[in-house]
Structure 1
Amino acid sequence: MKQPDLTRNGSDVATASPEPTPAQGLAVTLLTHERDFAALRTEWNPLAAAHPIASAFLRYEWADAAWQWRRQDATLALLTVRGGNGELVGVAPLVRTQDREIGLSFRRLELLSVPDNQFADILFAPDHLPAVAGAIAGWLRDNPQYWDQLTLRLLHNESPTAQTLSDALEQMGLLVVRQTNTVNYSIDLTGTWENYYRSRSRRLKKGNNLVANRLHRAGELQLTCLKGREIDEQTANIVRHLSAASWKQATGTTLDQPGPKAFFDRLFQYACQQEWLSVWLLTLDTLPVAAELQLEHKGLVHGLRSDFRTDLEALSPGTYLNWKIIEGLFDQGLKVYFLGPGENPYKRRWTDTGTPLTRLDAWSPALRGRLLRALRQWLRPTLRSARDHLQDLYHRARRL
Structure 2
Amino acid sequence: MEENPITDALFGERVPSRPCDGGPRAWRQAQRRTGERTEPLRVDVVRDLAGFNALEEEWNALVLRVDDQVFYRHEFVRCWLEHFGKGAPLRILTARDAAGSLVAVLGLKEEQGHQYGVPVRQLLSLTNKHSCRFDLLAEEPKRAAAAFLSHLMGDPSWDVLRLSDVPEDGAAWALMHAARGAGMPWGAWPSARSPYLTLPSTVTAWTKGRSNAKPLRRRRRRLEEKGRVEVERVSGSEGLEARLEEAFALEQSGWKAQQGTAIAQAEHRRGFYTSLARMAARRGWLGLYFLRLDSRAIAFQYGLEYGSRYLAMKPGYDEVLGEVSPGHLLTENLVQDCIGRGLKELDLLGDDAPYKREWTQAVRQHHWLFIYRDTLVGQTLQRSKFRWAPVAKRMVGRWVRRR
The question of a shared fold, defined as TM-score above 0.5 by the shorter chain, is answered with: yes
SS in 2 for 1:86: coil
Task: Supply the distance in 2 between the matched residues of 1:343 and 1:61 (Cα, whole angstroms).
Answer: 27
TM-score by length of 1: 0.84
Change (3 A) 1:231 1:109: farther
- Deviation for aligned residue 1:31: 2.0
Contact 1:244–1:254 (8 Å) recurs in 2: yes
- Deviation for aligned residue 1:380: 0.8
* Counterpart amino acid of residue 222 in structure 1: E
1:240 equivalent to 2:248? Answer: yes
Change (3 A) 1:197 1:105: farther
- Deviation for aligned residue 1:312: 3.8
Task: Supply the distance in 2 between the matched residues of 1:375 and 1:313 (Cα, whole angstroms).
Answer: 45
Corresponding position of 1:107: 121
SS in 1 for 2:130: coil
Contact 2:235–2:281 (8 Å) recurs in 1: no
Corresponding position of 1:276: 285
1:262 equivalent to 2:262? Answer: no
Change (3 A) 1:311 1:73: farther
* Counterpart amino acid of residue 40 in structure 1: L
Change (3 A) 1:214 1:116: farther
Task: Supply the distance in 1 between the matched residues of 2:241 and 2:400 (Cα, whole angstroms).
Answer: 56
- Deviation for aligned residue 1:367: 4.7
1:304 to 310, 313, 317: 313
Corresponding position of 1:351: 360
Contact 1:73–1:97 (8 Å) recurs in 2: no
1:159 to 152, 170, 184: 170
* Counterpart amino acid of residue 217 in structure 1: E
1:144 to 156, 168, 171: 156
- Deviation for aligned residue 1:209: 2.6
Corresponding position of 2:81: 67
Change (3 A) 1:246 1:80: farther
Task: Supply the distance in 2 between the matched residues of 1:329 and 1:272 (Cα, whole angstroms).
Answer: 17
Task: Supply the distance in 2 between the matched residues of 1:71 and 1:160 (Cα, whole angstroms).
Answer: 24
- Deviation for aligned residue 1:291: 1.0
1:123 equivalent to 2:137? Answer: yes
2:296 to 264, 287, 295: 287
2:58 to 38, 43, 64: 43
- Deviation for aligned residue 1:85: 3.7
Deviation string for 1:156-207 (max 9, x for gaps)? 3333431x22121223331222354432211111332222222222xx2343
Task: Supply the distance in 1 between the matched residues of 2:153 and 2:353 (Cα, whole angstroms).
Answer: 39
Q: How many aligned residue pairs are there? A: 365
Task: Supply the distance in 1 between the matched residues of 2:129 and 2:391 (Cα, whole angstroms).
Answer: 32
Change (3 A) 1:382 1:189: closer
* Counterpart amino acid of residue 87 in structure 1: S
* Counterpart amino acid of residue 134 in structure 1: A
Deviation string for 1:14-56 (max 9, x for gaps)? xxxxxxxxx74322222221111111111110011111x3211
Deviation string for 1:268-309 (max 9, x for gaps)? 231242011111011111111211111111201110111123
Task: Supply the distance in 1 between the matched residues of 2:133 and 2:366 (Cα, whole angstroms).
Answer: 8
More displaced 10-residue stretch of structure 1: 228-237 or 282-291: 228-237
Change (3 A) 1:171 1:194: same
1:189 equivalent to 2:199? Answer: yes
- Deviation for aligned residue 1:86: 3.0
SS in 2 for 1:144: coil
Task: Supply the distance in 1 between the matched residues of 2:155 and 2:322 (Cα, whole angstroms).
Answer: 52
Task: Supply the distance in 2 between the matched residues of 1:237 and 1:278 (Cα, whole angstroms).
Answer: 15
* Counterpart amino acid of residue 150 in structure 1: L
Task: Supply the distance in 2 between the matched residues of 1:73 and 1:186 (Cα, whole angstroms).
Answer: 35
- Deviation for aligned residue 1:214: 2.9
1:376 to 373, 380, 385: 385
Corresponding position of 1:200: 210
The share of aligned pairs that are identical, in percent, is: 23
Contact 1:94–1:110 (8 Å) recurs in 2: yes
- Deviation for aligned residue 1:60: 0.5
- Deviation for aligned residue 1:315: 4.2
After the TM superposition, which segments of 4 or more aligned residues of structure 1 sit over 4 Å from their partners? none
Corresponding position of 1:318: 327
Contact 2:136–2:170 (8 Å) recurs in 1: no
* Counterpart amino acid of residue 115 in structure 1: K
Corresponding position of 2:90: 76
2:348 to 339, 342, 345: 339
- Deviation for aligned residue 1:258: 1.6
Task: Supply the distance in 2 between the matched residues of 1:231 and 1:302 (Cα, whole angstroms).
Answer: 22
Task: Supply the distance in 1 between the matched residues of 2:360 and 2:398 (Cα, whole angstroms).
Answer: 38
